[in-house]
Chains A and B, each alone.
Chain A
Amino acid sequence: MSVSQADFTRALMDAGQQVPDGLVDQHGQPAGRRFDVYRNNVAAALTEAMHTAFPVIAKLLGKQNMDGLAGLYLRQHPPASPLMMFYGEDFPAFLEGMEQLRHLGYLGDVARLELALRRAYHAADAAPIAPEVLGQLGAEALMRTRLRLAPAVQVLRSPWPVHAIWRFNTESCAPAPQPQAQDVLITRPEYDPLPQLLPPGGAAWVAAIQAGGTIGTALEAAAEDQQDFDLGATLTLLLQGGAITGLDNKG
Chain B
Amino acid sequence: MRDAASQTHLPAAPGIGYKPQHFTAIMQDAGRVAWLEIHAENYMGDGGRPLAQLRHLAEKFPISVHGVGLSIGGEAPLDPDHLARLKHLMGWLNPASFSEHLAWSTHDSHFYNDLLPLPYTDASLQRICDHIDQLQDTIARPMLLENPSSYLAFAESTWSEPDFLAEIARRTGCGLLLDVNNVFVSATNLGFSPQGYIDAFALAHVGEIHLGGHDTDADEHGRPLLIDSHGREIADPVWALLDYTLARSGPRPVLVEWDNDVPDWPVLEAEAARAAAALERIPA
Interface residues in chain A, defined as those with a beta carbon under 8 Å from any beta carbon in chain B: 1-6, 8-9, 12, 22-28, 31-35, 37-38, 41-42, 45-46, 49, 78-85, 120-125, 151-152, 188, 191-192
Let me know if A82 and B106 touch, CB within 8 A: yes
Which chain B residue lies CB-closest to A87?
Answer: B113
**Residues of A contacting B105 with CB < 8 Å?**
82
10 contacts between A and B (CB under 8 A): A5-B104, A24-B152, A34-B225, A78-B112, A81-B111, A82-B79, A83-B69, A122-B45, A122-B48, A191-B48
- Asked whether B191 is an interface residue with its Cβ less than 8 Å from the other chain, the reply is yes
Please give the distance in Å from A174's CB to the nearest CB on chain B: 24
**Residues of A contacting B109 with CB < 8 Å?**
80
Whole-angstrom CA separation of A41 from B227 in the bound complex = 9
In B147-187, the 8 Å CB interface with A consists of 151-156
Interface code B199-235, partner A: CB below 8 Å = 1, 0 otherwise?
Answer: 0000000000000000001011000010100000000
**Residues of A contacting B99 with CB < 8 Å?**
none
Please give the distance in Å from A127's CB to the nearest CB on chain B: 11
Whole-angstrom CA separation of A125 from B47 in the bound complex = 5
**Residues of B contacting A1 with CB < 8 Å?**
155-156
Whole-angstrom CA separation of A1 from B156 in the bound complex = 6
- Asked whether B107 is an interface residue with its Cβ less than 8 Å from the other chain, the reply is yes
Let me know if B155 and A24 touch, CB within 8 A: yes
**Residues of A contacting B44 with CB < 8 Å?**
83, 85
Whole-angstrom CA separation of A78 from B114 in the bound complex = 12
Please give the distance in Å from A90's CB to the nearest CB on chain B: 13
- Asked whether B108 is an interface residue with its Cβ less than 8 Å from the other chain, the reply is yes
- Asked whether B75 is an interface residue with its Cβ less than 8 Å from the other chain, the reply is yes
Whole-angstrom CA separation of A3 from B46 in the bound complex = 38
In B1-53, the 8 Å CB interface with A consists of 41-42, 44-52
Interface residues in chain B, defined as those with a beta carbon under 8 Å from any beta carbon in chain A: 41-42, 44-52, 68-71, 74-75, 79, 81-82, 85, 104-114, 116-119, 151-156, 189-192, 217, 219-220, 225, 227
Which chain B residue lies CB-closest to A23?
Answer: B152
Let me know if B48 and A5 touch, CB within 8 A: no
Whole-angstrom CA separation of A4 from B74 in the bound complex = 10
Whole-angstrom CA separation of A24 from B220 in the bound complex = 13
Whole-angstrom CA separation of A49 from B111 in the bound complex = 13
**Residues of B contacting A123 with CB < 8 Å?**
45-48
Whole-angstrom CA separation of A125 from B55 in the bound complex = 13
Which chain B residue lies CB-closest to A151?
Answer: B46
Let me know if A83 and B41 touch, CB within 8 A: yes
**Residues of A contacting B155 with CB < 8 Å?**
1, 22-24, 28
Let me know if B225 and A4 touch, CB within 8 A: no
**Residues of A contacting B46 with CB < 8 Å?**
122-124, 151
Let me know if A3 and B69 touch, CB within 8 A: no
Let me know if B48 and A125 touch, CB within 8 A: yes
> Max chain B CB contacts within 10 Å: which of A23, A42, A46, A82?
A82
**Residues of B contacting A9 with CB < 8 Å?**
107-108, 110, 112
**Residues of B contacting A8 with CB < 8 Å?**
107, 116
Let me know if B119 and A84 touch, CB within 8 A: no
**Residues of B contacting A191 with CB < 8 Å?**
48-49, 52
Whole-angstrom CA separation of A83 from B85 in the bound complex = 10
**Residues of A contacting B68 with CB < 8 Å?**
82
Whole-angstrom CA separation of A122 from B106 in the bound complex = 23
> Max chain B CB contacts within 10 Å: which of A3, A37, A46, A83?
A37
Let me know if A81 and B48 touch, CB within 8 A: no
Let me know if B154 and A5 touch, CB within 8 A: no
Whole-angstrom CA separation of A84 from B41 in the bound complex = 8
Let me know if B190 and A26 touch, CB within 8 A: yes
Let me know if A38 and B151 touch, CB within 8 A: yes
- Given contacts A23-B152, A34-B152, A34-B219, is CB(A42)–CB(B113) below 8 Å? yes
**Residues of A contacting B111 with CB < 8 Å?**
78-82
Give which listed residue, A3, A27, A34, contacts B119 with CB less than 8 A. Answer: A3
> Max chain B CB contacts within 10 Å: which of A12, A33, A45?
A33
Which chain B residue lies CB-closest to A48?
Answer: B260
**Residues of A contacting B70 with CB < 8 Å?**
82
Q: What 5 A-B pairs come out closest when comparing CB atoms?
A: A82-B69, A122-B45, A26-B191, A124-B46, A31-B152
Let me know if B82 and A81 touch, CB within 8 A: yes
**Residues of A contacting B227 with CB < 8 Å?**
37
Which chain B residue lies CB-closest to A20?
Answer: B154
Let me know if B110 and A22 touch, CB within 8 A: no
Please give the distance in Å from A160's CB to the nearest CB on chain B: 28
Whole-angstrom CA separation of A80 from B105 in the bound complex = 11
**Residues of A contacting B81 with CB < 8 Å?**
81
Which chain A residue lies CB-closest to B226?
Answer: A37
Let me know if B110 and A5 touch, CB within 8 A: no
